[in-house]
Each structure stands twice: as structure tokens, then as C-alpha cells.
Amino acid sequence: MGRVAYVNGRFVPHGQAVVHIEDRGYQLADAVYEVWALFGGRMADAAGHFERLERSLSELKIAMPMSRQALTFVLKETVRRNRVREGTVYLQVSRGVAPRDHAFPTAPVRPAVVITVRGLDRAASEARAAKGVTVVTTPENRWGRCDIKTVGLLPNALAKQAAREAGAYEAWFVDDLGFVTEGASSNAWIVDQDGRLRTRDTNANILRGVTRKTLIESMQTEGLMIDERPFTPGDAIAAREAFITGAGSLVLPVIAVDGRPVGDGSVGPVAMRLRNLYIEHAIAGAI
């Protein structure tokens, strides 16, 4: 018998095991996992891994997909069906399947569960232990590569959810120095007190927004002053206007930050002019 996986209530041949394309684990890394070592087909350190699993799930506000007892049964059954004595059993629990949106689904979804088992050559493992291993060092950059448009979006999803819970549309990330980097799914801008258009430079750890870039080019042709300089949330509140850019939002005026009005708290003329400018540009250049 070949490898068997457990996927959402079913045992299926490993090669045919699939998850839905809108599984939030697949699209947003909105998922957690655990791995138990198997000795003689039994799960080692079982309680420790269950405790961490429950903690990881609760930090993400994902419900345990089933009781610990039921999960133990399913994990052990997957191990048994794979006839693995020495190896590992892998469990992944995602928030579930929902139309793609950074914030959590508003309708209740069932967490999605995947279990796989892998055999291990214990003798090879012992031989490696006898010889010892080497390591290399690497800069701590987890996750310091926001310039890559990766699906590793869990922090963005949590930020967007926090925004939604606060009754806001978007969340702005603020760095260690107190400057806004970008939004959870957009770039952040202000029209400062001197009327300059300010947005974070792309040497910072942000996504190089295509809307941002195109808008900068359009602004230049319009003779507008652009200042790629960081700003704080306080600068935004004191600014004339603020707005966000992105393929989803286009150019969207921001009227309040952390509950405090930006400028006079109304939609400003510059953001709306830029929105129309961008839309014109986008329509003209669309293929």
C-alpha cells in the first residue's frame, strides 16, 4: 500500500491529496502546523506538540478543528495506514476555505486539516548523529523581505483583521523608528502641510507597488512635487490629506488614522484628482 494522506475528513492516496485553491493556508499562509517524531509508530512528546498547536491556533483565533482526543485518533490512524514506525507525522490546520480577502472570513468557516506521514531511516539518522553536522550563519530576516510579493501574508492578514475589528478599512505598518512603511495591502501616502506628496521610498522594506510607481510617473508629467520620505502617523494626522494606492483600492482617500482625522477629516481634492488621474492612465494603458 502506498502513502496515504488525511485531508478534511478523508483518507486519500498521497498523490491525489489536494486542498482547495482558496484555502487560506495556500493563499495567505493563514495556517499553523505541528510535527511529531514517530518511534515504533508512536507519537513522541505528544502533549508538548498538542499544547503548542493549541497555542498557535488560539493566537490566530482558529478553533481546534476537533478535540485533542479525536485529533489523536486521526493522527494515529494516518500513521497506521502508512505503516510507518520510524519517521514523522505532519499536521497542518488552516483557517479554512473562503473567498480571498486578507481579513478573516465573516461567515463561519471550518478549519481545514491535512495530515501526512513520512518514514525515516533511523540508522541513517544515528549515523549522522555519530558524525555530527555543520552549520552556516544567515542574517535574521524573518520576514524581512516585504519587497517580494509572496503569499506569506499572515502578518498582513492579521493587520487587516485588526483594522476591520477597529472599524477601519486598512492597517498601516509602523516601523521601529515610528515611521509608516505601507499598508497591509496598499502603499501609504500623505499630502503634507507644504503640499508635497510623500510616500515611503522603495529602499525601505516595502512592496514596490505598481500603482505607486505609475502614479509617481503621472504626477511627474503633471509637474507635482513628490517626496519619497518617511512619515509618521502624527505627520499623517497633521497633513492636508492622506491616501493609499494599490491595484485593489486604486487611489483611495484616507480620512482618519487611529481614529484621528487627517486634516479636516474630509476627502481632499488632491487624492481625488490623483484617483481620476490614475484611472485615466490605467484605462489608457490597459491591454
Residues noted as catalytic: 149
CA distance 123 to 23: 38
Interface pick for ligand PLP out of 160, 198, 212, 240 (rule CB under 6 A): 212
151 contacts ligand PLP (rule: CB under 6 A): no
All residues at 6 or more sequence positions from 66 whose CB lies less than 8 Å from its CB, including other chains: 74, 113
Asked whether the beta carbons of 11 and 116 are under 8 A apart, the reply is: no
Interface pick for ligand PLP out of 82, 94, 161, 187 (rule CB under 6 A): 187
Interface pick for ligand PLP out of 25, 87, 209, 253 (rule CB under 6 A): 209
> Could you tell me where the DSSP H helices lie in the chain?
24-28, 46-59, 68-82, 122-131, 154-165, 210-221, 233-238, 269-285
161 contacts ligand PLP (rule: CB under 6 A): no
Q: Residue 161 or residue 245: which is nearer to ligand PLP going by CB?
A: 245
Q: Kindly identify the residues of this chain, within the stretch 235-254, that bind ligand PLP according to CB under 6 A.
A: 245-247
CB of 136 to ligand PLP, least distance (A): 30
- CA nearest neighbour of 92 among 65, 113, 68: 113
CB of 97 to ligand PLP, least distance (A): 21
Site mask, ligand PLP, residues 103-142, x = CB under 6 A?
----------------------------------------
Interface pick for ligand PLP out of 34, 182, 192, 241 (rule CB under 6 A): 182
All residues at 6 or more sequence positions from 147 whose CB lies less than 8 Å from its CB, including other chains: 202, 205, 206, 207, 208
CA distance 254 to 241: 7
Q: Residue 72 or residue 249: which is nearer to ligand PLP going by CB?
A: 249
Contact positions toward ligand PLP, by CB under 6 A? 156, 182-183, 185-187, 207, 209-212, 245-247
